Structure 1
């Protein structure tokens, strides 16, 4: 648990951070639940504070203060993949997935960069401290950014000097290497269905599977990642706990009923074959890894938020069968859309969730065309409808890709400083009329690609990215009211939607 240094919180939907005690010059915008540090008494209706960055000072209208710490769920724009950071009201932090590794992202960023900002800048800490890290399943676009986090202290990419993880959780399905090939293990057929029984389990299992002399070791990037998890430490220096999750566990350890925040485990669906735990095979390796995602429902007060990994139609139907008679378990206020907005979705499952807001973590520049139009429409049609003052308040559908925006500029000249190039002893300016003669050579790595593509363009036809707003979707709640917010492209203010929980 992080020891918060904040002494007050924003108590309104959003408010402006002013540069001075008087005047209208802006330093930024703050959101409901943002922690601040008061730096002095009220002056002319404003209070001097630090906010959204340990070195970021400004003035806030006094009437905007007096809030409290909230449950915060950040759906991070990681390009291709999922990345979700959960902050509980008592400042416990859980990281569920992290997108591809930054080396496989065309932005050069993963979820690790946002988490790094949260701890080092917002909290002013020199370390990242997680109560739990969860890999929803063993696809690289979900655990890659988690591997980046575990490299804190070994790389200059992050400001944090170290990261501690109290508990690591996973779904069990793993990539193994047998006879030089990648495999999920040999399927076991029972009553017309196939199951996978070769599962990664606890810490002892992970140690054995990452040993250089293992008969059947973990394979590839997944094996490298689990090896990093094995080396991870808790705050007290002891090894990070490792545990497999399934619906049989019912609740995430430490978040059982009785506390302020409850975390209900609804998947993957676990069976018993030959006395061993088993997970269903859904017809192909990709469907099997996706279909056996960890499904986690976060409850706080009357609010419910459902995280669904990369569930597909077959696994959704299986979960509804397993929870027959208890389908209300899937009902929620906010749902993470399954598998980035893929069409491989059960309409009945969407109806079972009936979320007031759906957040689709879609990819940028990748070849799956997510989110698919029919799924965006279906998410709206099956969402919970609220009408107030003759306006539709919910359902809401967000997409991290649609929330992202860039500002594009055109090059007008190229300046080369004296001494920057061997043999050039004076400043050189290439004006717009001659930029056509200047060639820019670059590499482009599409999200998830193994190797970059080499390309070139005339400088005159090469657009410049002048600014970038990431498509992060904020979800915050006090247990009664739920706020969803994205950043406005024009001025960095917040576009806010609020609704009441119905549970």
Structure 2
């Protein structure tokens, strides 16, 4: 089976598939996978496309301008609309069996599994992915993996985590293995880090009883189903050490690919015996959030920063550690020095904003990262009020350039304001008729209408698509008013004379 990918024209103009009469049929996006009709692919100007060929109802013969196709595809990051929580999928630019897929958090419910099924099951006979990353043990980051593991169709070579896991215990600190006080500094630390595969399987594998504890049950399902090759901790001390940094195994600068994934956090300290431990950053929740796995993707001219659920005390610790400063600055001069010294370790063109748009962040960290585009992953749960309005103003202030872009899965999501009033009216009438005169046909129609009313209220999900070849980058999302030939809105970025150039494209 021959396939190719949608190219990105030099002028960034949109690309379309056409029907046999030359009419625009649908808009496609840079890097989209196209199945080629080999028997009819002889036209010098057009390529024959077999669209949705595995779907009997949707399959069609279309065509695309040959100049708008390529054998090379960009690296892609999809910030999946998982509702309240985080979930992203990194897809490397290699083809076929060389492709690597990394799932970074999975939200709380089934949205991530549904996305993975829809995206990959049609062309991957075995959905074996390179890695899963649970940035920290919060339900809205790891809960979606329970759905993935229960399904059993997806396996991972590695499952990476921060070293902090939730044991099947009731007490918040006991879940994390308890805390101890350092006799020298009087600080409290979490020392019971789960560093390797054997330790994880001892904690959660048979014969341990995990009960109804969500994290423990999720890990146990992966173990029982043989769905994870190995569990490993990621930190600035747990990875591949090269060029003065620490990198995700297999994604270091010396590995044979054009991109790399740097581990920025957590940053463990060492106890008197040289063993790693993580300092307490407040209550148990702030501590496990603050020690999230932090990743920075390097690809050509662009960097993408994944911020986990960092909070104010965590950012203070992170920045002072990276800057090599003993304490948080008290003066403007010290503050400027902190930002300047820490910036090389965190600066990025795109930032997955910390903690779903919470305002519990420092201005210094935002200034150090200084991204041109922020991605906020949040849901509609009113108790969280994410993203916080005051944070949005701060993002605009500390983002790069005069007009930094703010992209939110919640704000990009489109929901119906009103349900179908006519359908409700017809359904009410049919129920009354059925009571008077039973009919199989009428009963079937009622069941169909009830199913229609029970459909999701989301018309367009808020997923955000980031694609780059290291020289150019686009950030795209689906338009609220869906039309096959006018589906995408995207921003395009390029580096020109060491300056980041932005141009919106609708």
Interval of TM-score (by shorter of Structure 1 and Structure 2): 0.7 to 0.9
Corresponding residue for residue 194 of structure 1: 188
Corresponding residue for residue 246 of structure 1: 235
CA offset digits 1:282-301 (Å, max 9, x no partner): 11121111111000001111
Equivalent residue runs for 1:221-236 within 5 Å: 221-231=214-224, 233=226
Q: Structure 2 residue aligned with 1:376, among 382, 389, 392?
A: 392
Equivalent residue runs for 1:264-343 within 5 Å: 264-275=262-273, 276-324=275-323, 325-343=341-359
Partner-residue secondary structure (3-state), 1:247: coil
Structure-2 change in CA distance of 1:420 and 1:316 (3 Å): farther
CA–CA separation in structure 1 for the residues paired with 2:437 and 2:376: 51
CA–CA separation in structure 1 for the residues paired with 2:5 and 2:73: 9
TM-score, length-scaled by structure 2: 0.79
Number of residue pairs matched by the alignment: 443
CA–CA separation in structure 1 for the residues paired with 2:63 and 2:433: 43
CA–CA separation in structure 2 for the residues paired with 1:352 and 1:145: 31
Kept after mapping to 1: 8 A contact 2:18/2:64: no
Structure-2 change in CA distance of 1:212 and 1:151 (3 Å): closer
CA–CA separation in structure 1 for the residues paired with 2:458 and 2:213: 36
Corresponding residue for residue 62 of structure 1: 66
Partner-residue secondary structure (3-state), 2:121: helix
Q: Which has the higher strand share?
A: 1
Corresponding residue for residue 458 of structure 1: none
Q: Which has the higher helix share?
A: 2
Kept after mapping to 1: 8 A contact 2:17/2:28: no
Kept after mapping to 1: 8 A contact 2:263/2:295: yes
CA offset digits 1:256-294 (Å, max 9, x no partner): 112322110000111112433211211112111111100
Corresponding residue for residue 446 of structure 2: none
Shift of 1:34: 1.3
Partner-residue secondary structure (3-state), 1:475: strand
Unaligned runs of at least 5 residues, structure 1: 103-109, 154-161, 386-391, 431-439, 443-461
Structure-2 change in CA distance of 1:310 and 1:50 (3 Å): farther
Corresponding residue for residue 412 of structure 2: 403
CA–CA separation in structure 2 for the residues paired with 1:427 and 1:232: 43
Q: Structure 2 residue aligned with 1:82, among 86, 90, 93?
A: 86
Equivalent residue runs for 1:109-148 within 5 Å: 110-121=111-122, 124-148=123-147
Corresponding residue for residue 48 of structure 1: 48
Q: Structure 2 residue aligned with 1:184, among 171, 176, 179?
A: 176
Shift of 1:11: 3.0
Q: Does 1:174 align with 2:165?
A: yes
TM-score, length-scaled by structure 1: 0.80
Q: Structure 1 residue aligned with 2:472, among 463, 474, 481?
A: 481
Equivalent residue runs for 1:351-500 within 5 Å: 351-385=367-401, 394-407=403-416, 408-412=418-422, 413-415=425-427, 424-426=437-439, 468-492=459-483, 493-500=487-494
CA offset digits 1:139-158 (Å, max 9, x no partner): 111011122222334xxxxx
CA–CA separation in structure 1 for the residues paired with 2:391 and 2:51: 38
Structure-2 change in CA distance of 1:119 and 1:471 (3 Å): same
Kept after mapping to 2: 8 A contact 1:187/1:194: yes
Kept after mapping to 1: 8 A contact 2:82/2:109: no
Structure-2 change in CA distance of 1:465 and 1:165 (3 Å): closer
Once structures 1 and 2 are overlaid, which stretch shifts more, 53-62 or 242-251?
53-62
Kept after mapping to 2: 8 A contact 1:410/1:464: no
Structure-2 change in CA distance of 1:11 and 1:367 (3 Å): same
Shift of 1:423: 8.0
In angstroms, what is the RMSD of aligned CA positions?
A: 3.3
CA–CA separation in structure 1 for the residues paired with 2:457 and 2:379: 21
CA–CA separation in structure 1 for the residues paired with 2:52 and 2:302: 25
Shift of 1:348: 0.2
CA–CA separation in structure 2 for the residues paired with 1:365 and 1:179: 25
CA–CA separation in structure 2 for the residues paired with 1:37 and 1:361: 32
Q: Structure 2 residue aligned with 1:9, among 6, 10, 17?
A: 6
CA–CA separation in structure 1 for the residues paired with 2:298 and 2:113: 25
Kept after mapping to 2: 8 A contact 1:34/1:52: no
Shift of 1:383: 1.1
Q: Structure 1 residue aligned with 2:155, among 164, 179, 184?
A: 164
Structure-2 change in CA distance of 1:8 and 1:470 (3 Å): closer
